[in-house]
Amino acid sequence: MPGVTVKDVDQRVLTKSLAMFLKKSGKVVVPEQADYIKTAKFKEDGPTDADWFYIRCASIMRHLYLRSPSGVSAFTKIYGGRKRNGVHPSKYCRSSVGCIRKALQALESARFVEKHPAGGRKLTAVGQRDLDRIANRIVAKQREAITHPSVIITT
């Protein structure tokens, strides 16, 4: 049987699992201003989840696994959205550059991401290995849940 990669797993589950891995490892340092950052100018409020920085780092790592190399500008386009202009028509707006740059710098300091010679960033071998290992764990848990379903008693 061939090995499991990131492409074979549900992407939401992978992002949550990778975010928990980054938080537990302690290698990714959250910037001090993370409590005050708004992730885009089209957002009204900042993120409500306390672990939003880890989730953003995990999402960036997943995107780099799929589309490497990518730069900060590409990520602002990926995380962009609709800006409501009141009575005027809504327009597409790119996300904030600062939080993406800080996330990439945190991943670089943890040795998961490195700069590509042609521009942009790419995953290191360590980052790719960790992503594949987490994908394998997710598939193993799903297979275990199928083979050993829990007994549900209804009254």
89 vs 49, 78, 93, CA distance in Å? Answer: 30, 21, 13
Look-up: residue for tokens 């302690």? 26
Q: Beta strands 113-115 and 81-85: pairing type?
A: unpaired
Q: What pLDDT, in 10s, does the model give residues 26-55? A: 999 999 888 888 888 888 888 888 899 999
State pTM to two decimals: 0.88
- Please name the fold of domain 6-147: Arc Repressor Mutant, subunit A (1.10.10)
Domain range annotation of the chain: 6-147
Q: What pLDDT, in 10s, does the model give residues 60-116? A: 999 999 998 999 999 999 999 999 999 999 999 999 999 999 999 999 999 999 999
HSE, CB side, 13 Å, CA atoms: give it for residue 143.
8
Alpha-carbon 46 to chain mean position: 17
